[in-house]
Amino acid sequence: MNKKVVTFGEIMLRLATPGYLRFNQADSLNATFGGGEANVAVSLANYGIPVDFVTRLPKNDIARACKMDLRGYGVGVDKIIEGGDRVGIYFLETGAVSRGSKVVYDRAHSAISEIKPGMIDWDEVFEGAGWFHWTGITPAISQGAADACLEAIQKANEKGITVSCDLNYRKNLWKYGKSCGEVMPALVAGTDVVLGNEEDAAMALDIHPEGVDVTGGHVEGAAYESVSKQIMAKFPRCKKVITTLRGSINANHNSWAGVLWDGKKLFESRQYQITHIVDRVGGGDSFMGGLIYGLLTYPDDDQKALEFAVAASCLKHTIYGDYNQATLEEVEKLMGGDASGRVAR
């Protein structure tokens, strides 16, 4: 039995235009919930891993609906603290072909943005836990959220809990007076497994890849070896660096793969051509959820863990909403090479 995984961050109400409508064309919005760390938690629960999602939510019916939604997917919500006045919102307009998707945030003064260190009892939260996951979104929300995240990482380090991070640079969020580069290194210093792409590494850690162009539809995995080596040199605690390789041909067609550096060897996954994307929001989170599952389930096989993460996130691109609702069997089938999409009957 795996020890519990804990994820920490903000969950939001997601209001998306139906189909491919623009904001000004829509007279209704589809309401679901989503957020980086919650999306990872749902993936893990879906694969049978015990997981708690920790956040701060107000005491109102929207927050109650949010908890019920997470609970329905098997995610533990009893460590969520109450306080504040509102659940953050994000609006999504899904792009097509040459028109990219757009996100508009309405999350200022959300309950978690007003969190302070000491509000969460991390000793209690981490009881029975073996893994803690955070993302670069949380410290971007506010100084208090950054401080609470650092508090959690330090407590996890004290307890010998594995810490993972998705660097997740969001330029529209860093608005409270500090830059990503000022805040992130102290948090990454306590992290064992780091996921990011070339922009994340550059903006969060001032580490730059050489000879990489992600706009041409093909990304060369070996080009990330230098970034991985630099991250490990700068942050000696780090044991694995993983990079998602997304080649954007257009909004509906991406190539998708990943590489993992363990300090000695660069593992590269097979590449998928995702030609008809249904919803790419949450794609990186589904990769992280798959990766944590893979590293826990195949601790001596980094190649297999990486292949699981890439296959899981490939399937997420075919599923509407933030959460990856692909089953363990579906991921394993795709990992095994069956990408036919034939009717199962």
| Domain ranges, ordered by start, for the chain | 4-335
Kindly state the average pLDDT of the residues 92-98.
92
Kindly state the average pLDDT of the residues 83-89.
97
Which pLDDT score is estimated for 221? 61
Residue 98 pLDDT > 70, yes or no?
A: yes
Q: Which one is predicted more confidently, 245 or 270?
A: 270
- The three-point CA angle 307-35-86 to 5° equals 170
Closest CA to 196 of 167, 153, 171: 167
pLDDT, one tens digit per residue, over 135-176 is 999 999 999 999 999 999 999 999 999 999 999 998 889 999
Which pLDDT score is estimated for 280? 84
Domain 4-335 falls under CATH 3.40.1190.20: yes
DSSP character for 4?
E
% pLDDT > 70, the chain: 93
Residue 216 pLDDT > 60, yes or no?
A: no
pLDDT, one tens digit per residue, over 28-82 is 999 999 999 999 999 999 999 999 999 999 999 999 999 999 999 999 999 999 9
Q: Which one is predicted more confidently, 223 or 182?
A: 182
Which pLDDT score is estimated for 66? 98
For residues 81 and 218, give the distance between their C-alpha atoms in angstroms, rounded to a whole number: 44
Which pLDDT score is estimated for 171? 87
Q: Which one is predicted more confidently, 146 or 339?
A: 146
Which pLDDT score is estimated for 245? 86
Residue 2 pLDDT > 80, yes or no?
A: no
% pLDDT > 90, the chain: 82
Which pLDDT score is estimated for 81? 98
